[in-house]
Amino acid sequence: MKNIFFYLTFFLFCITSCKNKPTEKVNTDSSNNKWWKEAVVYQIYPRSFKDSDGDGVGDLKGIISKLDYIKSLGIDVVWLNPIFSSPNDDNGYDISDYRGIMKEFGTMNDFDALLKGMHERGIKLVLDLVANHSSSEHEWFKESRSSRTNPYRDYYHWWPAEKGKPAHRWSFFDVNADAWMYDSATNAYYLHYFSRKQPDLNWENPKVRKEIFDMMNFWFDKGVDGFRMDVIPFISKDTTFPELPKEYNGDMVAYYANGPHLHEYLKEMNKEVLSKHNVMSVAEGAGVTAATAHNFVDEDRNELNMLYHFEGVSYGYVDGKFKTPDPNGYKLVGFKEIYSKWDSIFSNKGWGTIYLGNHDQPRMVTRWGNDAPEFREPSSKMLTTFLLTMRATPYYYFGDELGMSNIKFDKIEDYNDIETKNHYILLQTQKGDIKQFLEAAKISARDNGRTPFQWDATANAGFTTGTPWLKVNPNYKNVNVAAEVGNVNSCLSYFKKAVQLRKNNKVLVYGKYELLDKENPKVYAYTRGEGADKILVVLNFTKEKIDWALPVGLAIDKTPLLNNYQTFSASDAIELQPYQALVLKVK
Ligand code: TEU
């Protein structure tokens, strides 16, 4: 009798557990749901957001004055680019005091008021951890370079000149593309992957790691909700500095992102800091590939929460030419392949992000949409629809909600960015094609995404009463918050609707992603979710009118959940207007 009871129980157990076992590894397990997966992140470049004291540079009090605007967007998290003390060789990515506020941005009291104001509005604040390198004006580096026996010497990477020049390392920002800088004070070279004023910190030194971890805990103890981690894949170096290993086949950045102790350090960071706070962490995944992504973000790795890749934003540039758009290099089919691949990478483990703009990128409407007057708005809204309906945490760049576009400077003197200016000098040295470089920079240069935020049609777009640190885009007269906030058909109103759509439909966060009509060269269509909870997204990436045939058997609700036009007509096909975006409930 007992045995029968046992077998019956066991049988029932099997039935129930098999029944509940998801047929697809889709995120049905709500314990996988996290606030940072469901959040919409809004990135603010503080230098260009709002200037409160007329010095022409944005500041923390300026952001405080606009907290209600930020709240009105409906976003959940603000990522602030670096606000720490800096000589601004790379606009804050060269930190001279990790616990001080950049003097142009204000004071620690201003920061405390900003954080309080954000939390009072239910907005989390993520800061920018720039720990692969510091500023050469940091006290640590001043000490380190003063003598070979200084206690801070090993906070950085030095190579004694009597051993000859060390093996070549490429620099992103050096005028000779050389990451070794000779320093006569101690007759040695120091390493700088970026500018000469951004010496790389020696993470192999446990004292450096402790300094960084203590600093992170300082900000978390103040209530900060997370860090975006600047080129964090680069932090570990083989300090024997060998020639570039052959297996990297010349790919220096991939080598930088695969240092010998990288994941040990990230696990240590998680143990010593991240695991002690309810915070989010996102890696700027320079050099990270599909093959290495999971090592950073799988939950069982106990390292970081998510990462952003560069494969998408780098697509369509000429190989070997600095950020030069290739008119034949971009195909929508290729774009769809990249973003579908990265969705599948994180479909069962780990978690991704999605972005098209940030402070290192041009304005998305210029790069991926169409900034011609008749298409700027619909294509901007179409791209916004893409970002807010994919399975990844959206990182949305300030100003894109207005449809801000590239300023397209004509001359090098208008640029501020060290990357553009030093590549210009390097090209001059190489007797390269300067005209072509400046034409390419109109599309791809980072300063295009850094022009002052456009608040209204008054002088300097209401950004400053002084002289702006970077020129304001002349289109501010009609592309600005004041002109858009009351217009239900504006980019700004559309962004707010798209954010609410995502928040009201968790299937847009966790639902299965399925690409449709893969080879279509003009339309990007996909579904999110399954069964009764399925949504269809259809994006026309061209300025043409297109009849897009509905897949057989896919019936849609004729009232769109979101539409960047006033019109919508569908029978067996959906009539798509130029750059039309539609989000439709599947019946
Ligand atoms: O950027 C890292 C990075 O990959 C840079 O090379 C950047 O993407 C460049 O535009 C690529 O051409 C981070 C920061 O986001 C960037 O603003 C800093 O300049 C850089 O690190 C150094 O801190």
Give the domains, in start order, of the chain with CATH numbers. 39-132+206-504 (3.20.20.80), 139-191 (3.90.400.10)
Judged on CB neighbours under 10 Å (0-12, 13-18, 19+), 421 is middle
Percentage of the chain modeled with pLDDT above 70: 95
Q: State whether the beta carbon of 423 lies less than 6 angstroms from ligand 1.
A: no
**Distances, alpha carbon 106 to alpha carbons 47, 161, 224, in Å:** 11, 41, 18
Lowest mean pLDDT among 30-34, 96-100, 286-290, 378-382: 30-34
Say if residues 430 and 441 touch (Cβ distance below 8 Å): no
Q: Which ligand 1 atom minimizes the distance to the CA of 133?
A: 23
Our mutation pick for probing the ligand 1 site, out of 47, 360, 361, counting the most ligand atoms within 8 A of Cβ, is: 360
Where does the pLDDT of residue 64 fall: very low under 50, low under 70, confident under 90, or very high at 90 and above? very high
**413 in catalytic set:** no
Residue 235, classed as helix, strand or coil, is: coil
360 lines ligand 1 (CB under 6 A): yes
Please work out whether the CB of residue 446 comes within 6 Å of at least one atom of ligand 1: yes
76 lines ligand 1 (CB under 6 A): no
pLDDT tens track for 162-211: 999 999 999 999 999 999 999 999 999 999 999 999 999 999 999 999 99
pLDDT at 22: 36
- pLDDT over 70 at 106, yes or no: yes
> Are the C-beta atoms of 43 and 397 separated by less than 8 Å?
yes
- Helix (H) or strand (E) holding 221, with range, is helix 206-221
- The CB of 93 under 6 Å from ligand 1? The reply is yes
* pLDDT (0 to 100) of residue 321: 85
Residue range 527-550, pLDDT digits in tens: 999 989 999 999 999 999 999 999
Q: What is the pLDDT of residue 21?
A: 38
Q: Is the CB of 230 under 6 A from ligand 1?
A: yes
Which percentage of the chain shows pLDDT scores above 90? 92
Helices (H) and strands (E) in the chain, counts: 18, 20
Residue 388 in contact with ligand 1 by CB distance below 6 A: no
483 — alpha (psi -120 to 50), left (phi > 0) or beta? alpha
Angle 271-275-279 (CA atoms, 0-180°, nearest 5)? 140
How many alpha carbons fall within 13 Å on the CB side of residue 309? 23
Among 114-128, 144-158, 319-333, the range scoring the smallest mean pLDDT is: 319-333
Q: Which residues pair with 188 in a beta bridge?
A: 160, 183
Residue 417: pLDDT band by 50, 70, 90 thresholds? very high
pLDDT band at 156 (very low <50, low <70, confident <90, very high): very high
Longest Cα–Cα distance in the chain: 92
| Stretch 94-120: mean pLDDT | 98
For the beta sheet containing 77-80, the strands, ordered from the edge strand earlier in sequence to the opposite edge, are 306-308, 280-284, 226-229, 124-129, 77-80, 41-44, 393-397, 353-354
Average pLDDT, the chain: 94
Spatial distance between the Cα atoms of 436 and 93, rounded to a whole number of angstroms:
28
**Ligand 1 atom 4: residue of nearest CA:** 286
Contact 337, 352 (CB under 8 A): no
Non-local CB neighbours of 517 within 8 Å, separated by 6+ positions: 523, 525, 548, 551
- Ligand 1: which of 48, 84, 132, 230 to mutate, most ligand atoms within 8 Å of CB? 230
Give the per-residue pLDDT at 59: 99
Q: Compute the average pLDDT of residues 110-119.
A: 98
How far is it, in rounded angstroms, from Cα 586 to Cα 514? 13
Closest approach atom of ligand 1 to CA 93: 23
Phi, psi of 531 (to 5 degrees): 55, -130
508 pLDDT higher than 80 = yes
Catalytic, 447? Answer: no
Ligand 1 centroid to residue 151 C-alpha, Å: 30
pLDDT of residue 570: 86
Residue to mutate, 94, 172, 307, 416, ligand 1, most ligand atoms under 8 Å from C-beta? 172
305-316 mean pLDDT:
96
Q: How far is the CA of 360 from the centre of ligand 1 (A)?
A: 6
- Which pLDDT value is given to residue 10? 42
For the residues 283-288, what does the mean pLDDT come to? 96
The protein residue whose alpha carbon is closest to atom 18 in ligand 1 is 93
Q: What is the pLDDT of residue 6?
A: 44
The pLDDT, as a whole number, for residue 16 is 37
Residue 3: pLDDT band with limits 50, 70, 90: very low
Between helix 418-429 and helix 434-444 the angle, nearest 10°, is 160
Cα-based distances in Å from 35 to 68, 77, 145, 429, 437 = 22, 10, 44, 50, 43
Sign of CA dihedral 418, 420, 426, 428: negative
Asked whether residue 282 carries a pLDDT value surpassing 70, the answer given is: yes
Q: Which residues contact 247 (CB under 8 A, 6 or more apart)?
A: none
Q: Which one of 284, 417, 419, 484 is the catalytic residue?
A: 284
Mean pLDDT of 406-430: 97
Confidence at residue 30, expressed as pLDDT on a 0 to 100 scale: 59
The ligand 1 atom at the shortest distance from the C-alpha of residue 90 is: 19
pLDDT of residue 19: 37
Q: According to the model, what pLDDT value does residue 33 have?
A: 87
| Closest atom of ligand 1 to CA, residue 172 | 6
Count of positions (residues) in the chain: 587
Minimum-distance ligand 1 atom for the alpha carbon of 195: 22
Is any atom of ligand 1 closer than 6 Å to the C-beta of 231? yes
Catalytic residue of the set 51, 230, 419, 447: 230
How much is the pLDDT for 2?
42
CA distance 77 to 466: 30
pTM reported for the whole predicted model: 0.94
pLDDT band at residue 487 under the 50/70/90 scheme:
very high
The answer to whether residue 569 scores a pLDDT higher than 90 is no
Quick one: pLDDT band at residue 18, thresholds 50, 70, 90?
very low
The DSSP-derived string for 313-348 is: TTTTBPTTSTT-B-TTT--HHHHHHHHHHHHHHTSS
Q: Which residue's CA is the closest to the ligand 1 atom numbered 23?
A: 93
Residue 328: predicted pLDDT: 86
Inform me whether the pLDDT recorded for 260 exceeds 60: yes
CA of 286 to the centre of ligand 1 (A): 8
Q: Which amino acid is at 343?
A: D
What pLDDT score was predicted for residue 5?
A: 45
Q: Is there a contact between 485 and 73 (Cβ–Cβ < 8 Å)?
A: no
State in Å: Cα 328 to ligand 1 middle.
26
Quick one: how far is CA 43 from the chain centroid? 8
Question: Is 541 a pocket residue for ligand 1 (Cβ < 6 Å)?
Answer: no
Q: Are 304 and 297 in contact (CB under 8 A)?
A: yes
